Amino acid sequence: MSTGATSPAAPSAWRDPVALLAAPAVLYLLVVYALPLLWLLAKSLAGPDGLTLRPYVDFMSDPFNWRVIGNTLGAASWVTLFCLVVGYPAGFALARAGTFMQIVMLVSIILPLSIGVVVKAFAWQIVLRRDGVVSQFLVGVGIWDEPQRLLFTETGLVLGAANIFLPFMILPIYSVVKLIDPRLGEAGATLGATPFYRFTRIFLPLTLPGVVSGVAFVFSMSVSMYVIPSLLIGDRFQTLATLTGRSFLMMRNEQLGSTTAVILLVLAVSIVVGSTWLARRLGGST
Amino acid sequence: MTATERIAQAGVWLAAGFTVVFLMTPLVVTVAVSFGSSGVFTLPPPDWSLRWYEKLGSARGLWSSLATSLQVAAVATAIALVLGTLCAIALVRGRFPGRDAIATFLVSPLMLPGLVIGIAVLQGFKAAGLREAFVSLMIAHVIITLPYVVRTVLGSLTLFDFSLIDAARTLGCSYPMALVRVLVPALGPAFLTSGMFAFLASMDNYPISIFFTDAWTKTLPIQMLQYVEETPDPTIAAISTGLVLLAILVLVIGDRLVGLRKLADF
């Protein structure tokens, strides 16, 4: 990091008056957001006599809770994979499309944001029913022999969640693809590179920062999702977030709730830190 | 064009087409259900009707929660635009250590579980003796809106040439005037984009808001979920269709002001 070496008159590190402009936002988040989170963490480690890991040891010794963690990570991985497989080419298409297609894609990304997660999940309930559109379509084209219910299944959950998080995969990828000079590919072709070689050696490395950022967004959001699993799969399938929500909002079991909340927090923070580190190594600034 | 390239290109357009259909599905379903006569969401609807829109008139809870959500989102977005822009300027122009860490910190609420943030903030407010639901909601929602502003304005400022401000001053502008005439228009698209995303994120937030609502102050998503559980009928689809119309209006205005493409620089 440069510390004033760029201009000879630059003030020394800590006396830069411009830094004061950052103070209100940073102080706000420190007081309202960071301190309460640290307090939550500290409280969960405080036992009757000093520091304790007891709640976590208890939590981990119950095989049911391993299933909960498995559910959380499994669902998030499937959602992320789905979003990446669809979102990567879609990000390319959005950056390279003609004006009309670009507008159609942008509208389909931005407009559904206005109906919100609750109503979207509700719409997916209708779509995924036994007599819903997906079932009718799959029977119609002959993939399924008879109508099936996707609602309250893991496939339904992954579809619904991917639908809500897909824009957060497409937009970061779009923002790196649009900066790539298309002539790079042509240059590669002139020099005799095959399409596959051009993709893996030119486009893939240049788009990696966008991919890292998109994957980090989608994965962390799907690990934390609460409304979507409650509406699309129900109590049968517990994740860390739904268990935290139930403990605090329904069972009033704050002990269990704090434990799962902290595990979820640690998981999410490691995704943030890990992805930032990876993005910086790849030289991206998204 | 070789065969590989043709397959790759077909794949890209297939993904694009699928994306459009996939993303629009819940919206189309919502609008269709809201104009259908069926109370159990039969699709395609047996008959068209406006009965759910008529029912909206008597759904008092939905209107007051819509008002609460709009107010909270407007205030939280406005505060975030001011704090976030000042901070982004410091991060781009400043020469102090830890700027990358500060940027990550400010964007982090976007990626941390809302439920956990809600629990922590609720306990913080309890400790501070803050019990007023509306004020709590506003203070908590700035945590959600700030990341969008910081992220987008920061991206836009890194591309801004600050010597333009010096140029404006050389040409006779005072410093505040130069900021208003040069910096603000250059950041306009970023303000609009981040403001839109932040506003929608606040309107849509469930996991944080759930901890700060009481019997009188509810935000729209919370009221809607409660409504669906009590009386599962397409009334919420009708109010959502209204919100979609509002969003179309915002998109058209946004397109006129800065162009739709700029709105994607999230």
SS (H, E, C) chain A: CCCCCCCCCCCCHHHCHHHHHHHHHHHHHHHHHHHHHHHHHHHHHEECCEECCHHHHHHHCCHHHHHHHHHHHHHHHHHHHHHHHHHHHHHHHHHHCCHHHHHHHHHHHHHHHHHHHHHHHHHHHHHCCCCCHHHHHHHHCCCCCCCCCCCCCHHHHHHHHHHHHCHHHHHHHHHHHCCCCCHHHHHHHHCCCCHHHHHHHHHHHHHHHHHHHHHHHHHHHHHHCCHHHHHHCCCCCCCHHHHHHHHHHCCCCHHHHHHHHHHHHHHHHHHHHHHHHHHHHCCCCC
Q: List the end-to-end C-alpha distance of chain B, in Å, as a whole number.
A: 34
Q: Which residues of A touch B5 (CB under 8 A)?
A: 195
Rounded to the nearest angstrom, the minimum Cα separation between A275 and chain B is 10
SS3 B135: helix
Which of B23, B125, B249 would best serve as a mutation to test chain A binding (most A beta carbons within 10 A)?
B23
B84 has a chain A CB within 8 A of its CB? yes
Pairing of strands A50-51, A46-47: antiparallel
Cα angle: A192, vertex A198, A203; to 5 degrees: 150
Instruction: Look at residue A169 in the predicted model and tell me its pLDDT.
Output: 96
Contacts of B194 in chain A (CB under 8 A): none
CA A56 from centroid of its chain's CA atoms = 25
Closest residue to B30, CB basis, from A107, A123, A285? A123
Cα gap A131→A125, rounded to integer Å: 11
Dihedral over Cα of A191, A197, A198, A203: its sign: negative
Look at B95 and A28 and tell me if their CB atoms are within 8 Å. no
In contact, A95 and B265? CB cutoff 8 Å: no
Report the CATH superfamily, name and number, of domain A74-281. MetI-like (1.10.3720.10)
Neighbour tally for B111: CB within 10 Å: 23
Is there a contact between A175 and B265 (Cβ–Cβ < 8 Å)? yes
- Residues in A closer than 8 angstroms to B33, CB to CB, are 123, 126
CA distance, residue B207 to nearest chain A CA (Å) = 7
Q: Other CB atoms closer than 10 Å to residue B69's CB: what's the count?
A: 26
Which residues of B fall within a CB distance of 8 Å from A118?
A: 206, 221, 224-225, 228, 236
Cα separation, B21 vs B35, whole angstroms: 20
Give the chain A residue nearest B111 (alpha carbons). Answer: A220
Which residue in chain B is spatially nearest to A112 when comparing CA positions? B27
Single out the residue of A128, A135, A131 nearest to residue A151, CA to CA.
A128
A-contacting residues of B 165-194, CB under 8 Å?
A: none
Q: What is the pLDDT of residue B1?
A: 66
Task: Answer yes or no: do A226 and B206 touch at CB < 8 A.
Answer: yes
Instruction: Provide φ and ψ at B36, rounded to 5°.
Output: -85, 160
Q: Do B19 and A86 touch (CB under 8 A)?
A: yes
CA-nearest residue to A124 within chain B is B26
pLDDT number for residue B215: 82
What pLDDT shows up at residue B28? 93
| Interface contact B207-A227, CB threshold 8 A | yes
CB spacing of B91 vs A16 below 8 angstroms:
no
Q: What are the domain boundaries of chain A?
A: 74-281
B244-265: burial string, b at 16+ Cβ within 10 Å, e else: beebeebbeebbeebebebbbb
The single-letter code of the amino acid at A75 is A
Inform me whether the C-beta atom of residue B162 falls under 8 Å from chain A C-beta atoms: no
Q: What is the mean pLDDT of each run of 10 residues along chain B (266 residues)?
A: 84 94 94 85 80 84 92 97 95 88 93 94 93 93 96 91 90 88 89 93 94 90 89 87 91 85 75
CB pairs under 8 A between A and B: 302
d(CA A239, CA B155): 35
Residue to mutate among B18, B41, B96, B230, with most A CBs inside 10 A, is: B96
Contacts of B119 in chain A (CB under 8 A): 40, 244, 248, 257-258, 261
Residue B5 sits at the chain A interface (C-beta within 8 Å): yes
CA distance B40 to B233: 7
Residue reference for tokens 């019997």: B215
Contact indicator for A230, B88 with CB cutoff of 8 Å: no
Q: What does the pLDDT read at residue A6?
A: 44
Q: Which residues of A touch B13 (CB under 8 A)?
A: 93
State the Cα–Cα distance between residues A73 and A263, nearest whole angstrom: 12
- Nearest by CB to residue B105, choosing from A29, A120, A174, is A29
Q: Would you give per-residue pLDDT tens digits along chain A (286 residues)?
A: 444 344 444 445 556 788 889 999 999 999 999 999 999 998 888 877 778 888 898 889 999 999 999 999 999 999 999 999 999 999 999 998 888 999 999 999 999 988 889 999 989 988 998 888 888 888 888 888 888 888 889 999 999 999 999 999 999 999 999 888 888 888 888 898 888 888 888 888 899 999 999 999 999 999 999 999 999 998 889 999 999 999 998 888 888 888 999 999 999 999 989 998 888 888 654 4
Q: Of the candidates A163, A172, A257, which has its C-beta nearest B26's C-beta? A: A163
CA dihedral sign of residues A31, A35, A39, A40: positive
User: Are B187 and B153 contacting, i.e. CB atoms less than 8 angstroms apart?
Assistant: yes
From the list A82, A163, A243, the residue with the least C-alpha distance to B27 is A163
Dmax over Cα atoms in chain A, in whole Å? Answer: 76
- CA dihedral over B45, B50, B53, B55, signed as positive or negative: negative
Q: Are B152 and B265 in contact (CB under 8 A)?
A: yes
Of the candidates B28, B34, B64, B76, the one whose C-alpha atom is nearest the C-alpha of residue B51 is B34
pLDDT at A8: 43
Distance CA A107, CA A100 (A): 11
- Residue B27 has a pLDDT of 94
Task: Supply the DSSP string of B56-116, one letter for each residue.
Answer: HTT-HHHHHHHHHHHHHHHHHHHHHHHHHHHHHHHHHH---TTHHHHHHHHHGGGTS-HHH
**What are the C-alpha distances in Å from A191 to residues A54, B4, B7, B9, B12?**
63, 17, 22, 21, 24
Task: Confirm if B47 and B110 have CB atoms less than 8 A apart.
Answer: no
Domains and CATH numbers, chain B: 60-264 (1.10.3720.10)
Q: Do A245 and B4 touch (CB under 8 A)?
A: no
Helices A254-281 and A63-96, packing angle to 10 deg: 40
In single-letter form, the type of residue at position B227 comes to Y
